[in-house]
Chains A and B, each alone.
Chain A
Amino acid sequence: MTMLIEPDFGTPVSKKNENVTVEIDGKSVTVPAETSIMRAAAMLGNNIPKLCATDRLKAFGSCRLCVVEIDGRNGTPSSCTTPVTEGMKVSTTTDRVQKIRRGVMELYMSDHPAVCETGDECKMHSMAKEVGLTEVRYEGKTHLGLVKDETNPYFTFDSTECIVCNRCVRACDEVQGTFALTIENRGFEARVSSSGTSFIDSECVSCGACVQACPTGALTEKTLLTIGTPTRSVITTCAYCGVGCSFKAEMRGDELVRMVPLKDGGANAGHSCVKGRFAWGYATHDDRITKPLIREKITDEWREVSFEEAIAFAAAGLKKIQAESGVDSIGGITSSRCTNEEVFVVQKMVRAAFGNNNVDTCARVCHSPTGYGLNQTFGTSAGTQDFESVEFSDVIMVIGANPAAAHPVFNSRMKQAIRRGAKLIVVDPRVTETVKSAHIEADYHLQLLPGTNVAVINALAHVVATEGLINREFVNARCDLEAFAEWERFISLEENSPETLEAASGVPAAKIREAARLFASVPNGAIYYGLGVTEHSQGSTMVMGIANLAMATGNIGRKGVGVNPLRGQNNVQGSCDMGSFPHELPGYRHISRDDVREIFNKKWGVTLRPEPGLRIPNMFDSALGHKFRGLYVQGEDIAQSDPNITHVHAALRSMDMVIVQDLFLNETSKFAHVFLPGTSFLEKDGTFTNAERRINRVRPVMPSKTGKSEYEVTCDLSRAMGYDMSYAQASEIMDEIAATTPTFSGVSFEHLDRMGSLQWPVNDKAPDGTPTMHINEFVRGEGKFMPTPYVATLEKSTRKFPLLLTTGRILSQYNVGAQTRRTANNIWHSEDILDIHESDAEMRGIKDGSWVKLSSRVGETIMHARITDSVPAGVVYTTFHFPESGANVITTDYSDWATNCPEYKVTAVEISPSEKGPAVIHPHEIAGDSQLDSIIRMANQIAANVPKATAPEIEVAHHIVQFWTPEMRERLHADVDRSKLDPIVLKAMELESVK
């Protein structure tokens, strides 16, 4: 194994279509017009000496090493800044340019350490040798006495090695877009500066672009100094967010020295963020559990045992439960943090070994409405574009997402597009970093009240429909015209006008009209959205509303447009693709489809059940009724991350066999009977699928710390349960996925290794994948407009709970913090903080930085307050990264009508000053039959949200049959007090299918 040194052509690739042919040192080369001489030479294998040039950054021309001579021209222009022209003859090694290079290096070395701390990492000494410099004749003042800045936890800045090439400053500007770095002073005194303060106090977001760009040891990863120079590298994929950045894991032996973003990375094109680049230390943290643990009762101490014993114990427990309470009394949850292969195997175990469809995934609580909404409208559950597409957009609408914090690498790409002139519309209750940052400000910030997304999207669509802005050509050619006509009639109703909806959303009608006109008026409008769309009682409606708007304006099926969910976790897309939902088999095919079940029946040698199994919240409800008693949880801390934690804890506590497979003991493992140690992404062999449907390889860079692969452990349990399942290697699992799932039919590890990555569908029609979907027709044939009536959430501010809480993430921490809390990232964010507007704070006597009690109808917690104008009056905001603050003690069990995705983004709360420290105050008690309550609420919610036009009861019935378990349907008929049900539900219950 060796180090991968990616070639550096010095300047970015030219996007011109015309070619020119030039001669460099007598060799002819044909390149796109406007290619630099440097790049053209590099394509001939002629690497002209350079220090300030790198192909990730625009040519700058400062070091003057790359000078060349051109026939017929005076002077010695720099080859990085000089484009080739037809017939140009260039000489790169004349005596004159060699002399300049030696002279330049002599100047450089007269102000450079004789020996560099970072060794070969600093290119200066090797460059001096390369240009033939043997002696430095100057002596004079130098910068060698300057003090290192070691304030950043991950990298150092040593100005003595700095050559002021500006690569770091340019990277911060051109790649990251933060503008934290600059050059201070001029002439000899010109120095790189984090804008007059230390790195840690600066605006630096620690993305690492500057460190990567630095050609010397001035900016260096601290691990490079403590561990030493890496000796080999492995290309793999980041395990944080859904951007799915490709990295080179640079190793020294089995020790990871650093993660360097891969220039060739399909998703990140060489960029990274603080988490992927630096916050990987958790993977080898001392807290890792590497041996299986078991216990009889959750009040017992854990006992370390062998895998064999743990598996036998778990299998016996599960079998006992099934024997006592039936086949449906156990289930499993797959993890969006795990590989496609690991997820596939868990859902297979549930369906084949457990013998039911009680499998769900943590995507339930984030992007399940995306799956539902895009499936209904476009016919498949995925974003339509690749990330590169944003570079072609004229207007970018970001709804309920804060990519600056949660998808930083995509955000950098988006910011570049905006700085080049694309317009930005942001729909968000808060003034986020996405709304306003260095050199970026949203053209329209539609600052809506939490919970009113559908009001805003309907108002926008109303303007498009009623002001003659519909792209009829697109609609007529591509969409189901009957559904469109119905939608057009619906959306044109006065009830959907911006003026009518202004009262609900709080967004001025005039602003909505202007934003809608802007979006509809440009050639390419793109929509990006996040959990601020999905995690609502109308999450699925909103996704369909977005799809409607995109279709109505003709913004589907080419670069620069589309509907793009920004996925929260590395493999949300993949875990959904892999059949993790109780009603779907891999590839989003409903479990009721005989033809699809037949494929798996044959392959797996089983008979799959045709009815959907339990969703996660249904599992909890059922557990509280002691009918659901055993759960296999793969890499998800449901006891911290799921809403209304009190309810979750009670459900977990009532189960008899909870098996947790994870890296660390976590909140959920407190309720577990078996702990199966998992593997970090550095140990895994498999694939992650990112938000652009890009399947990326995850490669083991070090041996498994547990001695086993995670999928092997799942297979072991499956076998112990009586179903034989085994794979010699991860690639065999992908082969099985490909063999059973048409959208993956062309995927294999071999193909991925060859291509780097592939965007599904990968099949006979698109052998190398599909960057843009729905190009000539929608996956479902015709795009289907869906009416999207705005139904206000039941969660409303009241006299008792007058404020609306919304939750989100920040840059340095990640979700429940299991990883980032075990890194130096805590330096930036060490606790969850409540953001509150000045007027709300003042009214309650709350001071900036004081403790406050946060209470909702389901629980209470305490945290520090921060007074800020990033939230409007009436709205408060916090993150959910720390178990201590337990933000989800507060969130309720309200959820999306179609998918049960929790309504994390809206909770009515009250805030009051508090004396106490950060302890979670005991949550409120749970009483009654929660499953029955959920069934009533869900049924009525479906009735309220289905389109009302014709026979809504058929829609309701259809929905219930598609997504509810037979048991839930039975209880709807047998146990529910009918006076509590919506008349439409009652009518639906009359229909034969529901019975």
Chain B
Amino acid sequence: MSTIIYVPSDSAAISIGADQVAALIAQEAIKRSLDVTIIRNGTRGALWLETLVEVVTPQGRIAYGPVQPEDVSSLYESDFLLGGAHPLALGATDEIAWFAGQDRVTYKRVGIIDPLSLQDYESHGGLVGLRKAITQSGSEIVAEVTASGLRGRGGAGFPAGIKWKTVLDTQADQKYVCCNADEGDSGTFADRILIEADPFTLIEGMTIAAVAVGATEGFVYLRSEYPTAITRLRDAIEIAKSAGVLGSSVLGSAHAFNLEVRVGAGSYVCGEETAMLESLEGKRGVVRSKPPLPAIAGLFGKPTIINNVITLASVPAILADGAAAYAARGTGRSLGTQVFQLAGNIARGGIIETAFGITLETLVKTFGGGTLSGKPLRAIQIGGPLGAYFNSSQLNVSMDYESLAAAGGMLGHGGVVLFDDNVDLAQQAKFAMEFCALESCGKCTPCRLGSTRGAETIEKIISGVDVPANKLLLLDLCEVMTDGSLCAMGGLTPLPVKSAMNNFPEDFTGGAKK
């Protein structure tokens, strides 16, 4: 009997040698006349354990990691096919505390299944939600999603059900579902991991959305920097088409839904939903004014659902298990689970899916294990390059939309980036402005000119030129950008700047910090 071995085909794992590990395991098996079947799953999310090799044994899946290519022969020596002891042995994967402490709902199949096996997908609960959806009316599905409390996981946190209802209620000859997979925030990778590990979940989620509102065409706007995800999702779409999940009759129903991957061209602002629509239409990725809302006049002027990958991928579970089960998780108005991404200077980076309400401290210490460098933790940026910097005295903040907002930050796409005490927050503030200057679409004045003026002004503060006057000017500028910008790009750039000034005032006194 052949032994099944899982070796991730995740981009991050591959970048540190997963392909070689897989190849060596296969070669070694031949050499040793052992019968093994290697399944390239996605990552289970513990990037700090990659390459995480799992062996299916009668005791379940036993983990070894992080496995380097040179470890392969010793694994065989240790009878890892039977779950034998080895310095890299981690025991049953599910029992590793880092996994056991999570609440995987949306990502429950991530890393578990063969990403392109529809059979595997179904045997792990896939398509249950969609099968239920095609028996329901559009408004029933929308009601279910609304009741779940699901909010947009792209950053804005807008209730998905309300958005869907607007699309459902808008009469049109054509409607669209667009998935925003232009995951450009620094320190985020959840979208990529899901698409690489469990693409059918996204396909199912989008199809449910399409069935709910009567859309027949869908697009996934996927960033060009994710070549593996692009290929995998396209392959999965083809498989789903052949299996009748997509196409003119979704699972034999009267609903038609066609799905296509469109590759972004390397612009951060195209992750802003209206710029994404422009880009999908083949135009420059420039932000549109709202109104009209995309839900009323979106892609090619038609009603369009635009949601992030995680939002849409959460829908199958909500339909399958019911809104109540999802809404039972979380806190206040932040219901369900959030997929946090731990990155930066962190000991145990990766994705943590838990219910909202976990503290920042639990995230970065219990799960993350503090800084990788071992030096004191000084700053944490939450929510991507436009998110706020927190200092080490703010670790008790609850990780949910409202609490973070109250603390002067935002959840964004769930990225959590750690910095040790080497960080200079004035430089980080300047970087925020420079990032905005580089990525601004150039449409509105506060963002187009303000970002460059902001970086110049912070440089003057750093250089000790007229520090009080320039700080005042910087605050005035932040106000113009916050209140005056057309979209969140210019509107939120002041968030890291002002949080850095507020939470790390000592870095803004002019002159070098150290």
- A62 in the interface, Cβ–Cβ < 8 Å? yes
Partner of B445, one of A62, A76, A83: A62
- Inter-subunit contact A62/B284 (CB<8 Å): no
Partner of A107, one of B437, B439, B446, B483: B446
Q: Mark B448-479, 1 if CB is under 8 A from A, else 0.
A: 11111100110000000000010001001101
Complex Cα gap A83–B269 (Å): 25
- B440 in the interface, Cβ–Cβ < 8 Å? yes
**Which residue of chain B lies nearest to A110 when distances are taken between CB atoms in the complex?**
B453
- Inter-subunit contact B449/A96 (CB<8 Å): no
Give B432 Cβ to nearest chain A Cβ, in Å. 14
Contacts of B445 in A (CB 8 A): 62-64, 104, 107-108, 163
**B interface majority secondary structure:** helix
- A657 in the interface, Cβ–Cβ < 8 Å? no
Partner of A166, one of B440, B443, B452, B476: B443
- Inter-subunit contact A107/B267 (CB<8 Å): no
Complex Cα gap A103–B453 (Å): 12
- Inter-subunit contact B448/A188 (CB<8 Å): yes
- Inter-subunit contact A138/B453 (CB<8 Å): yes
- Inter-subunit contact B476/A103 (CB<8 Å): yes
Partner of B448, one of A75, A81, A137, A187: A187
Contacts of B267 in A (CB 8 A): 186
- Inter-subunit contact A61/B439 (CB<8 Å): no
Partner of A62, one of B436, B444, B479: B444
**Which residue of chain B lies nearest to A97 when distances are taken between CB atoms in the complex?**
B483
Complex Cα gap A186–B290 (Å): 21
Give A9 Cβ to nearest chain B Cβ, in Å. 17
Q: Mark A170-211, 1 if CB is under 8 A from B, else 0.
A: 000000000000110111111000000000000000000000
**Which residue of chain B lies nearest to A109 when distances are taken between CB atoms in the complex?**
B449
- Inter-subunit contact A140/B453 (CB<8 Å): yes
- Inter-subunit contact A190/B456 (CB<8 Å): no
Partner of A187, one of B438, B446, B469, B477: B438
With contacts A100-B483, A103-B479, A107-B480 known, is A62 near B443, CB below 8 A? yes
Give B278 Cβ to nearest chain A Cβ, in Å. 12
**Which residue of chain A lies nearest to B466 when distances are taken between CB atoms in the complex?**
A137
Give B282 Cβ to nearest chain A Cβ, in Å. 10
- Inter-subunit contact B444/A186 (CB<8 Å): no
- Inter-subunit contact B444/A182 (CB<8 Å): no
Contacts of B485 in A (CB 8 A): 64
Contacts of B438 in A (CB 8 A): 187
Complex Cα gap A542–B446 (Å): 59
- B441 in the interface, Cβ–Cβ < 8 Å? yes
Q: Mark A433-474, 1 if CB is under 8 A from B, else 0.
A: 000000000000000000000000000000000000000000
- Inter-subunit contact A99/B439 (CB<8 Å): no
**Which residue of chain B lies nearest to A75 when distances are taken between CB atoms in the complex?**
B483
- B369 in the interface, Cβ–Cβ < 8 Å? no
**Which residue of chain A lies nearest to B472 when distances are taken between CB atoms in the complex?**
A137
- A55 in the interface, Cβ–Cβ < 8 Å? no
Give B252 Cβ to nearest chain A Cβ, in Å. 34
Instruction: Name B257-306 residues within 8 Å CB distance of A.
Output: 267, 269, 284, 286, 289-291
Contacts of A189 in B (CB 8 A): 442
- Inter-subunit contact B289/A186 (CB<8 Å): no
**Which residue of chain B lies nearest to A99 when distances are taken between CB atoms in the complex?**
B479
Complex Cα gap A75–B437 (Å): 23
- B322 in the interface, Cβ–Cβ < 8 Å? no
Q: Mark A84-112, 1 if CB is under 8 A from B, else 0.
A: 00000000000010011001100110110
Give B98 Cβ to nearest chain A Cβ, in Å. 40
- A78 in the interface, Cβ–Cβ < 8 Å? yes
- A961 in the interface, Cβ–Cβ < 8 Å? no
- B486 in the interface, Cβ–Cβ < 8 Å? yes
Q: Mark A826-848, 1 if CB is under 8 A from B, else 0.
A: 00000000000000000000000
- B484 in the interface, Cβ–Cβ < 8 Å? yes
- Inter-subunit contact A107/B479 (CB<8 Å): no
Contacts of A75 in B (CB 8 A): 483
- Inter-subunit contact A138/B483 (CB<8 Å): no
Complex Cα gap A188–B435 (Å): 12
- Inter-subunit contact A140/B289 (CB<8 Å): no
Partner of A138, one of B284, B456, B486: B456
- Inter-subunit contact A67/B291 (CB<8 Å): no
**Which residue of chain A lies nearest to B470 when distances are taken between CB atoms in the complex?**
A137
- Inter-subunit contact A81/B289 (CB<8 Å): yes
Give A595 Cβ to nearest chain B Cβ, in Å. 57
- A164 in the interface, Cβ–Cβ < 8 Å? yes
Partner of B453, one of A64, A76, A107, A164: A107
- A60 in the interface, Cβ–Cβ < 8 Å? yes
- A733 in the interface, Cβ–Cβ < 8 Å? no
- Inter-subunit contact A190/B442 (CB<8 Å): yes
Partner of B291, one of A62, A82, A187, A190: A82
Give A440 Cβ to nearest chain B Cβ, in Å. 15
- Inter-subunit contact A67/B483 (CB<8 Å): yes
Complex Cα gap A189–B478 (Å): 21
- A59 in the interface, Cβ–Cβ < 8 Å? yes
- Inter-subunit contact B449/A182 (CB<8 Å): no
Complex Cα gap A83–B291 (Å): 8
Contacts of B446 in A (CB 8 A): 64, 103-104, 107
With contacts A141-B452, A188-B449 known, is A61 near B444, CB below 8 A? yes
Q: Mark B127-166, 1 if CB is under 8 A from A, else 0.
A: 0000000000000000000000000000000000000000
**Which residue of chain B lies nearest to A65 when distances are taken between CB atoms in the complex?**
B445
Contacts of A78 in B (CB 8 A): 289, 486
- Inter-subunit contact B291/A108 (CB<8 Å): no
Partner of B284, one of A63, A108, A183, A187: A183
With contacts A83-B291, A104-B446 known, is A187 near B437, CB below 8 A? yes
- Inter-subunit contact A182/B284 (CB<8 Å): yes
Contacts of A141 in B (CB 8 A): 452, 456
- Inter-subunit contact A100/B484 (CB<8 Å): yes
Instruction: Name B413-450 residues within 8 Å CB distance of A.
Output: 436-450
Contacts of A82 in B (CB 8 A): 291
- Inter-subunit contact A140/B444 (CB<8 Å): no
- Inter-subunit contact B483/A76 (CB<8 Å): yes
Complex Cα gap A182–B284 (Å): 9
Contacts of B443 in A (CB 8 A): 60, 62, 166, 190
Partner of A61, one of B269, B289, B447: B289
**Which residue of chain A lies nearest to B481 when distances are taken between CB atoms in the complex?**
A103
**Which residue of chain B lies nearest to A189 when distances are taken between CB atoms in the complex?**
B442
**Which residue of chain B lies nearest to A103 when distances are taken between CB atoms in the complex?**
B480
- Inter-subunit contact B486/A188 (CB<8 Å): no
- Inter-subunit contact B486/A187 (CB<8 Å): no
Complex Cα gap A100–B482 (Å): 10
Contacts of B439 in A (CB 8 A): 186-187
Give A124 Cβ to nearest chain B Cβ, in Å. 12
**Which residue of chain B lies nearest to A64 when distances are taken between CB atoms in the complex?**
B484
Q: Mark A117-144, 1 if CB is under 8 A from B, else 0.
A: 0000000000000000000011111000
Contacts of A164 in B (CB 8 A): 442, 448
Give A921 Cβ to nearest chain B Cβ, in Å. 52
Give A588 Cβ to nearest chain B Cβ, in Å. 45
**Which residue of chain A lies nearest to B455 when distances are taken between CB atoms in the complex?**
A140
Contacts of A62 in B (CB 8 A): 443-445, 486
Partner of B442, one of A99, A108, A187: A187
**Which residue of chain A lies nearest to B452 when distances are taken between CB atoms in the complex?**
A188
With contacts A99-B479, A183-B284, A187-B440 known, is A59 near B449, CB below 8 A? no
- Inter-subunit contact B484/A110 (CB<8 Å): no
Contacts of A183 in B (CB 8 A): 284, 286, 442
- Inter-subunit contact A140/B456 (CB<8 Å): yes
Complex Cα gap A15–B469 (Å): 50
Sample of 13 further A-B pairs with CB below 8 A, known A62-B444, A188-B452: A60-B289, A62-B486, A64-B444, A67-B484, A81-B291, A104-B445, A107-B446, A107-B449, A138-B473, A164-B442, A186-B442, A187-B452, A190-B440
Some 15 contacts from A to B, beta carbons below 8 A apart, are A61-B289, A67-B483, A78-B289, A103-B446, A138-B456, A139-B456, A140-B456, A163-B445, A164-B448, A185-B442, A186-B269, A186-B439, A187-B440, A187-B452, A188-B442
Across the A-B interface, give the 4 residue pairs with the lowest CB-CB distance, nearest first.
Answer: A190-B442, A103-B480, A61-B289, A81-B289
